[in-house]
């Protein structure tokens, strides 16, 4: 579990690699309701099988609430972020962290051959790195105390 590991490794290790989405014609209310039901902070916006945007709680707060719009009357396409920045399963963890930091977002779709295969969050990346560091610390402690296998 290193910074050089691939995003594909993270997707394979996730308990549930589900891709949650809404259509651009759904209401923002429906999108927020789905986010709440699944305890996520963003949804992909799909038109059929095509990724056309991403909508997040941040989009809702800044483009609906702060502007006094109605979430039941505003459509997802009106507030979604597009074009979508995405990565492939072959991208490294550190590359994805750099992309997310540069663009200041917390969710990154993973696309392979024009098909969405998953989404990684900044939390997924941090968890991966922390787990790797914990393993390294355990190995070093074992080496120092002489209990390291091998």
CA distance 93 to 48: 29
> How far, in whole angstroms, is CA 131 from its chain's centroid?
18
Dihedral over Cα of 59, 61, 62, 67: its sign: positive
Please name the residue ranges forming H helices in 27-83: 28-38, 57-60, 76-79
Distance CA 84, CA 96 (A): 14
Q: 41-58: per-residue pLDDT in tens?
A: 999 999 999 999 999 999
User: Tell me: the pLDDT tens digits for 77-133?
Assistant: 999 999 999 999 999 999 999 999 999 999 999 999 999 999 999 999 999 999 878
Q: What is the pLDDT of residue 1?
A: 72
Pure H helices in 39-121: 57-60, 76-79, 93-103
Phi-psi region of 113 (alpha: psi -120 to 50; beta: other; left: phi over 0): left
Question: pTM of the predicted model, to two decimals?
Answer: 0.87
CB 32 within 8 A of CB 71: yes
Element (H, E) at 120: strand 115-121
């Amino acid at each position: 579990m290193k910074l050089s590991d691939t995003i594909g490794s993270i997707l394979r290790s996730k308990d549930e690699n589900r891709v949650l989405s809404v259509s651009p014609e759904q209401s923002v209310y429906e999108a927020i309701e789905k986010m709440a039901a699944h305890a996520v902070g963003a949804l992909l916006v799909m038109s059929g099988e095509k990724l056309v945007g991403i909508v997040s709680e941040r989009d809702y707060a800044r483009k609906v609430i702060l502007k006094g719009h109605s979430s039941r009357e505003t459509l997802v396409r009106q507030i979604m972020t597009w074009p979508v920045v995405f990565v492939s399963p072959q991208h490294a963890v550190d590359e994805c962290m750099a992309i997310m930091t540069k663009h200041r977002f917390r969710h990154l779709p993973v696309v392979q051959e024009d098909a969405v295969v998953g989404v990684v969050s900044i939390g997924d990346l941090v968890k991966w790195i922390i787990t790797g560091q914990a393993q390294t610390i355990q190995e070093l402690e074992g080496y120092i105390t002489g209990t390291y296998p091998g």
